[in-house]
Amino acid sequence: MKKIFWFFIIVSILLHFYALTFPLATLEDESSHIVRGMIILEVLNIVPLWAWFILTILTIASLFLLYKLYKKDVNLFIAVLLPLSIAYYYIVCHVASRFLINQFGSLDIINQLWLIRYGSLSAIVYALQLILFGYREWGMRLFPVIFSVFSAVYLYKLISLYKNENWALFSSISFLFLPGIFYFVNISQLSMGVTLFTILSIYFLMRFTLKNEKKDLAYMCLFLILGFQYKEIFLLTYGTIFGYLIYFYLFIKKKIDYLSIVKYLSLSLIPTLIWLVTQGYFNNSTNFMSSRFLAFNQNLAHNVFRYITTFPSEATWPISILFFIGLPFALYSIFKKKDELAVVFMTHFLIIYSFITFDSLNHYDIVYRYAADLLLSISFLSFFSINLIKRRKLIKLISYGLIIFLMITSTFLTYHNWENRFVPMDGTFSYIKENIPESEKILRTMAPNPYKFYIAKYEIKNEMRHIVWANVSEQDIASLFAFMEKNNYTYYIFPKPSPSYHSYWPNDFSWVYTTGLIREPVLNETLLNNLMINNTYFSVVYNDNLGDNSLYIIKKAD
Amino acid sequence: MFAKFLLIMAVFFALIIYPYWLLYYFVGLKYVFFISLLGFVVFVKVLEK
């Protein structure tokens, strides 16, 4: 690998550094993913410290012994592993049920929905981050950064299997600095993990077709399983792999061990399918996988170009233009030059694009996170147009110029007016910790939100409930006062009613409005404006600003 | 060798431990655990062939 590649990797990590410490975003899924890790951690917290220590040593030792045993005799290995798994399973069940009874008073499925919406791996990754770094914002965002670095490294390796070094360098580095990717690296979301597992499984499959080593197929199968356990949308990668294999069989006609590939692919599907069935027992909402795949949209023509309009903001104008110029050349390369890599990225692009277009969730206007999955293909396919230039020096000059342009754009978008994207959580919660007695109850209304994280970070003991006390039209100062009086709430915490997401992708989301096509307000704006001024019912005890956003704490009059 | 070991451990975890303590306690499907154990043995056996 070129030295300049590592230089850009280090620069990308450095550019993320400060953004990692931003407060957790409101109205982002980031906070709900962290809560999943927190629930696992709460279960684990029942175990005392000394037992933890012994458990860790036992786990490492048993894994080592199992590996030794596996190398010696596979039958013996299974014979030991199965009773061990039963014992382990009952311990986990016992601890989990005790925890849930202590926490909620009963064994309730609703509380577990957090853990089964996505697979196990992502919840465990978040739990691991909490164990390693505690309740720190940067700790929650470290894994996406690590994933992004590995994605770039393996993208480089994958491309250099078939293409020249310039191509590999430009694609992997420009991928890191595309605004869409840059955003989801320092906002702790699942996108980067999905991208990494996609690249890894494709890389090992393609290496198998070149070198014919069975080891590679085992790794492919492993990453397919892990990818699906990370996030269910990863299932689309199977489409890319099948598309590639069909092309390989029909056009490349090289003799490889197809039976082994099919065997390992079906093996990887076993845990995936069982997981889908498991999820179906709990999850009847529209988020359930089957309804996502089955529900097709009626307004097809209207929606087909919906996500193309996001390219300029997620991939910048120059890259989008290069991508569209490169597309016909990529197609030419696929059909005339038997370009396997172009097939993979093209199929990946088409599958993701059709999925997000036909998805039942498309009542959301545009979800930038969905479109971010397309950027992997865009970073590769856009080089087709740069490759048209004959002079090598000019290619280098243009690639480096574009990378620097992307670097500046992404950094600017991330840091320019960054305050407007967040609410001042830290100040508000340290105020609650220091000034509000633990016995006082606090009412809050704003979701989805990072409250649970900050309650744990500042070890707040106050009872804090999220309740919308009345319909928007019926919300006024008197009804709020009556509700708080009746239910013994002393404090109320609310945001200033202003739009969010100013600096990155402009959006008309607002703290007080629900998402979706019909933006119905959750809170009455006039009421919130009135509460920001002292009155006979309430007095403002604290307010904090971050950019244009403010959080208020008001106290009920006695 | 190591790749296959990792693969087996991943399946072991994905099939058995994480999803099924949820199912067992909340839906009461005791047999699912044993079916998945069976699935796991089949998995390893096919892998080793």
The DSSP-derived string for A532-554 is TS--SSEEEEEEEEETTEEEEEE
Assess A120–B contact: CB distance below 8 Å, yes or no: yes
**One-letter amino acid for residue A120 of the chain:** S
Q: How far is A347 from chain B (nearest CA, A)?
A: 26
Q: Using an 8 Å CB-CB cutoff, list chain A residues near B37.
A: 82, 85-86
pLDDT at A439 over 70: yes
Question: CB atoms < 10 A from the CB of A55, how many?
Answer: 13
By DSSP bridging, strand A464-466 and strand A549-556 are: unpaired
- Cα separation of A349 and A198, whole Å? 12
Percent of the residues in chain A that have a pLDDT greater than 70, as a whole number: 87
pLDDT at A517 over 50: no
CB of A232 closer than 8 Å to CB of A238? no
The dihedral built from the CA positions of residue A66, A69, A71 and A75, taken in this order, carries a sign that is: negative
Q: Which of A309, A305, A295 is nearest to A361 (CA)?
A: A295
**To the nearest 5 percent, what fractions of chain B are helix, strand and coil?**
90, 0, 10
Q: How far is A288 from chain B (nearest CA, A)?
A: 16
Percent of the residues in chain A that have a pLDDT greater than 90, as a whole number: 32
When the pLDDT of each residue in chain A is averaged and rounded to a whole number, the result is: 83
- Which residues are CB-contacts of A289 (< 8 A; sequence separation ≥ 6)? A232, A235, A276, A279
Q: Using an 8 Å CB-CB cutoff, list chain A residues near B9.
A: 63, 66
Per-residue pLDDT at A363: 52
**One-letter amino acid for residue A540 of the chain:** V
DSSP reduced 3-state for A464? strand
Q: Which of A102-116, A343-357, A376-390, A427-441 has the lowest mean pLDDT?
A: A102-116
- Cα separation of B43 and A338, whole Å? 35
Per-residue pLDDT at A178: 93
- Which residues are CB-contacts of A433 (< 8 A; sequence separation ≥ 6)? A458, A459, A460
- If you compute the radius of gyration of chain A from its CA atoms, what whole number of angstroms results? 26
Residue A360, CB half-sphere, CA atoms under 13 Å: how many? Answer: 11
Domain count, chain B: 1
Query: What is the chain B residue with the closest CA to A87?
Result: B17
Residue-wise over A148-177: b if at least 16 C-beta within 10 A, else e? bbbbbbbbbbbbbeebeebbbbbbbbbbbb
- Which phi and psi angles does A443 have, rounded to 5°? -100, 140
Per-residue pLDDT at A364: 52
In degrees, rounded to 5, the angle at the alpha carbon of residue A366 between the alpha carbons of residues A155 and A230 is 45
Q: How far is B5 from chain A (nearest CA, A)?
A: 7
pLDDT at B23 over 70: no
Per-residue pLDDT at A508: 46
Q: How far is A201 from chain B (nearest CA, A)?
A: 13
pLDDT at A367 over 80: no
pLDDT at B20 over 80: no
Per-residue pLDDT at A502: 41
Question: CB atoms < 10 A from the CB of A320, how many?
Answer: 18
**One-letter amino acid for residue A336 of the chain:** K
Per-residue pLDDT at A448: 52
Q: Using an 8 Å CB-CB cutoff, list chain A residues near B7.
A: 218-219, 221-222, 225
* E strands, A303-360, in order: none
Decide if A70 and B5 are in contact by the 8 Å CB cutoff. Answer: yes
Query: What is the chain B residue with the closest CA to A216?
Result: B3
User: Residue B30: which domain range?
Assistant: 2-48
pLDDT at A504 over 70: no
Assess A114–B contact: CB distance below 8 Å, yes or no: no
Of residues A513 and A342, the one with the higher pLDDT is A342
Decide if B7 and A225 are in contact by the 8 Å CB cutoff. Answer: yes
Decide if B44 and A63 are in contact by the 8 Å CB cutoff. Answer: no
Strand partners, A492: A443, A554
Decide if B19 and A89 are in contact by the 8 Å CB cutoff. Answer: no
Assess A50–B contact: CB distance below 8 Å, yes or no: no
When the pLDDT of each residue in chain B is averaged and rounded to a whole number, the result is: 75
